[in-house]
């Protein structure tokens, strides 16, 4: 059996360097070849999609440490084929018991500068990743945590080759990584950015994974690891001579030990005969995408000139973000009017706000309360812009031969998190609590034990009960528009998944300008849209999507970025 598994892994490895792979059996797509290899290795050993997803995620914690890891949290969407059921696992970070609505205000009552919030103990939410992995495996996997961590332990011990993306991200964090002794020692060996082509090892993280392999999540949320996290947050390991104002946090061992992952129902919506599942609150991704699609359903985008279809896409996104910014937050603290927001009748009314031209600034949120069974809530918020939100994060997509599917997004928020490595354990902490809104009161205001609103958008698409597409992306608030635009590209424009994924992206989030990448601002469509009042703010790249398409002929196509973030990696068990 081991020889057979090794042969399957070797065959799958032939396609690991490719961003697109089509075939049968299981499939995986991630931003990193070693993570994709780990997923395929676990599938070859008889594991299912959940097992393979956790294995890939653990490797990404080694090779993509500035985007994700056990110091953060995430959202996992799982399709259980035998039960024809979709479940979601919320392991978002949680504010500690000490948190108050004014925690990010200085003595004068004014907000603390954003850089001081990020590079501080104040920004650290209680990590949820380890508990989420264990819960996913216990409920829906077939292998133990110790078994699926083995590929990541190997990579951490043996090292990986530093690529241009890793080096560039390290360089971008050079100043703040030098603030902390533990971070400097790990990521700036010899005081310098690791050279492209060199081998980077993380023996401390390997030892931490070994502790988790033998002790499970208790080895993280109690004992020496938990104490080290508390010490790092409450007394940051500031290097001698640092003049930056590094603020202490207030996290306790009880905060860590009491952390729980949540099993939540997904957000379910329909679009042109497709059933779409997304992540629900506290992630705003699923509801915002569903609302935007409801708005777009009133137009036949496939028959319209492309610039007209893109105008409608941008304006639907603008309106959806206005509602998202106004109403959405942690459902354990906020009674968000989701039934009204996702009502098809509300979309009919809200659609009237889409004009022939782009508005000059932010638009007001709509009023979903008359479209709820209980319309009594009196809140009528004002228009708000989208907060600054970390654009790090990573996403992976896995399917197995039994048609189980995992769409998984997880993060440490900003690229490099809060820049603090837990001494002796090899992982960065998150700055997730900067995702709270500074406005008080607000559905996303800081509170003790609250989960900050997220944009993560793992998504699954079905037709007549059969899977069609699984996808997701990193990118802060642009995650929502990246997934939304990819859905439009596939479901409306009929693009194959690799072309839908590689196309230039447009991200309108209720702001005066629209972010674009891939040179879109130089296209004829951009010129036509500019005549309608659209203004462009080009970015080097938007998102880093991975997906699996389930083709009518029974094959699967796994797809990752061809160029964004240096290109991703896709593989199938039996290539076509």
Residue appearing with tokens 């304006």: 315
User: Cβ distance 93 to 128 under 8 Å?
Assistant: yes
Say yes or no: 276 and 366 in one domain: yes
Radius of gyration of the chain (CA): 22
Name the 3-class secondary structure at 277.
Answer: strand
Domain interval for residue 302: 263-389+457-553
Q: 119 to each of 115, 173, 349, 450, how far by Cα in Å?
A: 6, 11, 44, 21
Which residue, 513, 428, 432, is CA-closest to 126?
432
Burial of residue 19, with CB atoms counted within 10 A of its CB: 0-12 exposed, 13-18 middle, 19 or more buried: buried
Say yes or no: 330 and 370 in one domain: yes
Burial of residue 299, with CB atoms counted within 10 A of its CB: 0-12 exposed, 13-18 middle, 19 or more buried: middle
The helix (run of H) or strand (run of E) holding residue 24 is strand 20-30
Rounded-to-integer distance, Cα 259 and Cα 126, Å: 7
Task: Evaluate whether residue 306 is within a structural domain.
Answer: yes
Secondary structure, 3-state, 57-78: HHHHHHHCCCCCCCCCEEEEEE
Of the candidates 20, 170, 288, 393, the residue annotated as catalytic is: 393
Q: 520 to each of 313, 495, 526, how far by Cα in Å?
A: 15, 17, 6
Say yes or no: 313 and 246 in one domain: no
Task: Evaluate whether residue 407 is within a structural domain.
Answer: no
DSSP structural state of residue 265: P
Q: What is the pLDDT along the chain (576 residues), one digit of tens a residue?
A: 333 333 344 344 444 679 999 999 999 999 999 999 999 999 999 999 999 999 999 999 999 999 999 999 999 999 999 999 999 999 999 999 999 999 999 888 888 999 999 999 999 999 999 999 999 999 999 999 999 999 999 999 999 999 999 999 999 999 999 999 999 999 999 999 999 999 999 999 999 999 999 999 999 999 999 999 999 999 999 999 999 999 999 999 999 999 999 999 999 999 999 999 999 999 999 999 999 999 999 999 999 999 999 999 999 999 999 999 999 999 999 999 999 999 999 999 999 999 999 999 899 999 999 999 765 655 555 544 455 554 579 999 999 999 999 999 999 999 999 999 999 999 999 999 999 987 778 999 999 999 999 999 999 999 999 999 999 999 999 999 999 999 999 999 999 999 999 999 999 999 999 999 999 999 999 999 999 999 999 999 999 999 999 999 999 999 999 999 999 999 999 999
Give the pLDDT of residue 228: 98
Give the pLDDT of residue 66: 97
- HSE-CB at 320 with a 13 A cutoff on CA atoms is 31
Say yes or no: 267 and 251 in one domain: no
User: Cβ distance 128 to 94 under 8 Å?
Assistant: yes
Give the pLDDT of residue 5: 39
User: Cβ distance 410 to 75 under 8 Å?
Assistant: yes
- 346: domain CATH number? 1.10.246.130
Provide the phi-psi class of 342: left if phi over 0, else alpha when psi is between -120 and 50, else beta.
alpha
Task: Evaluate whether residue 22 is within a structural domain.
Answer: no
Alpha-helix residue ranges (DSSP H) falling in 94-187: 114-118, 129-140, 145-148, 150-158, 164-172, 174-177, 181-187
Say yes or no: 352 and 226 in one domain: no
The token pair that represents 50 in the structure block: 């959940």
Rounded-to-integer distance, Cα 459 and Cα 449, Å: 27
Task: Evaluate whether residue 8 is within a structural domain.
Answer: no
Q: 138 to each of 50, 144, 145, 216, 485, how far by Cα in Å?
A: 10, 8, 9, 11, 34
- 482 belongs to the catalytic site: no
Say yes or no: 152 and 65 in one domain: yes
Count of structural domains, the chain: 2
Burial of residue 288, with CB atoms counted within 10 A of its CB: 0-12 exposed, 13-18 middle, 19 or more buried: buried
Task: Evaluate whether residue 448 is within a structural domain.
Answer: no
Say yes or no: 488 and 384 in one domain: yes
Residue appearing with tokens 């997004």: 409
- HSE-CB at 428 with a 13 A cutoff on CA atoms is 37
Q: How many residues does the chain have?
A: 576
Task: Evaluate whether residue 405 is within a structural domain.
Answer: no
Say yes or no: 251 and 122 in one domain: yes
The token pair that represents 445 in the structure block: 């205001």
Task: Evaluate whether residue 452 is within a structural domain.
Answer: no
Burial of residue 538, with CB atoms counted within 10 A of its CB: 0-12 exposed, 13-18 middle, 19 or more buried: middle
Say yes or no: 427 and 483 in one domain: no
Give the pLDDT of residue 438: 78
Q: 201 to each of 194, 204, 406, 415, 422, how far by Cα in Å?
A: 11, 9, 28, 19, 16
The helix (run of H) or strand (run of E) holding residue 20 is strand 20-30
First-to-last C-alpha distance (Å) of the chain = 23
Which residue, 83, 59, 19, is CA-closest to 405?
83
Q: At what angle do helices 49-63 and 203-215 cross, to 10 degrees?
A: 150
User: Cβ distance 213 to 145 under 8 Å?
Assistant: yes
Say yes or no: 272 and 248 in one domain: no
User: Cβ distance 436 to 320 under 8 Å?
Assistant: no
User: Cβ distance 287 to 443 under 8 Å?
Assistant: no
Rounded-to-integer distance, Cα 429 and Cα 501, Å: 30
Say yes or no: 494 and 430 in one domain: no
Task: Evaluate whether residue 100 is within a structural domain.
Answer: yes
Answer positive or negative: Cα dihedral of 484, 486, 489, 492.
negative
Give the pLDDT of residue 107: 87
Residue appearing with tokens 């509801």: 287
Domain boundary among 435, 470, 496: 435
Give the pLDDT of residue 407: 98
Beta strands in 359-400 (DSSP E): 394-399
Rounded-to-integer distance, Cα 322 and Cα 288, Å: 10
Say yes or no: 149 and 65 in one domain: yes
């Amino acid at each position: 059996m081991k020889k057979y598994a090794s042969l399957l892994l070797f065959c799958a490895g032939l396609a690991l360097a490719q961003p697109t792979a089509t075939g049968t059996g299981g499939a995986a797509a991630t931003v990193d070849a070693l993570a994709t290899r780990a997923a395929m290795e676990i599938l070859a050993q008889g594991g299912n999609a959940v097992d393979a997803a956790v294995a890939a995620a653990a490797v990404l914690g080694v090779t993509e440490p500035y985007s994700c890891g056990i110091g953060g949290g995430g959202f996992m969407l799982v399709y259980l084929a035998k039960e024809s059921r979709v479940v979601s696992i919320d392991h978002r970070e949680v504010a500690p018991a000490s948190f108050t609505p004014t925690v990010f205000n200085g003595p004068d009552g004014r907000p603390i500068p954003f850089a001081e919030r990020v590079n501080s103990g104040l920004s650290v939410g209680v990590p949820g990743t380890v508990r989420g992995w264990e819960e996913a495996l216990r409920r829906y996997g077939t292998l133990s945590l110790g078994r699926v961590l083995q590929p990541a332990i190997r990579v951490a011990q043996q090292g990986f080759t530093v690529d241009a993306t890793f080096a560039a991200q390290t360089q971008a964090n050079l100043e703040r990584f030098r603030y902390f002794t533990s971070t400097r020692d790990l990521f700036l060996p010899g005081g310098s950015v690791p050279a492209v082509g060199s081998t980077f090892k993380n023996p401390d993280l390997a030892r931490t994974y070994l502790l988790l392999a033998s002790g499970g999540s208790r080895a993280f949320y109690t004992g020496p690891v938990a104490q080290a996290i508390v010490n790092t947050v409450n007394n940051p390991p500031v290097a001698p001579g640092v003049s930056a104002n590094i603020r202490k946090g207030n996290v306790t061992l009880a905060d860590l030990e009491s952390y729980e992952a949540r099993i939540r129902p997904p957000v379910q919506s329909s679009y042109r005969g497709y059933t779409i599942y997304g992540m629900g609150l506290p992630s705003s991704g699923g509801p915002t995408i569903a609302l935007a699609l409801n708005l777009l359903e009133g137009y036949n985008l496939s028959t319209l000139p492309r610039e007209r279809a893109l105008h409608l896409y941008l304006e639907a996104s603008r309106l959806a973000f206005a509602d998202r910014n106004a109403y959405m937050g942690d459902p354990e603290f906020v009674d968000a009017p989701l039934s009204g927001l996702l009502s098809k009748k509300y979309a009919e009314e809200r659609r009237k706000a889409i004009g022939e031209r782009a508005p000059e600034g932010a638009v007001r949120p709509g009023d979903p309360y008359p479209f709820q069974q209980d319309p009594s809530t009196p809140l009528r918020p004002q228009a708000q812009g989208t907060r600054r939100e970390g654009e790090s994060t990573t996403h992976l997509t896995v399917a197995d031969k039994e048609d189980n599917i995992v769409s998984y997004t997880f993060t440490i928020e900003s690229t490099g998190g809060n820049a603090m490595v837990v001494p002796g354990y090899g992982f960065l902490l998150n700055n997730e609590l900067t995702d709270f809104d500074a406005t008080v009161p607000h559905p996303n205001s800081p509170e003790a034990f609250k989960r900050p609103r997220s944009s993560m958008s793992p998504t699954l698409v079905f037709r007549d009960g059969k899977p069609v597409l699984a996808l997701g992306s990193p990118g802060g608030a642009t995650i929502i528009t990246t997934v939304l635009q990819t859905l439009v590209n596939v479901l409306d424009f009929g693009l194959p998944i690799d072309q839908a994924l590689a196309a230039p992206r447009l991200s309108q989030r209720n702001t005066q300008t629209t972010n674009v990448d891939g040179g879109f601002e130089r296209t004829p469509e951009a010129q036509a849209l500019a005549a309608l009042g659209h203004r462009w703010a080009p970015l080097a790249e938007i998102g880093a999507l991975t997906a699996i398409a389930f083709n009518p002929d029974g094959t699967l196509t796994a797809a990752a970025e061809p160029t964004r973030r240096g290109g991703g990696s896709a593989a199938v068990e039996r290539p076509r």
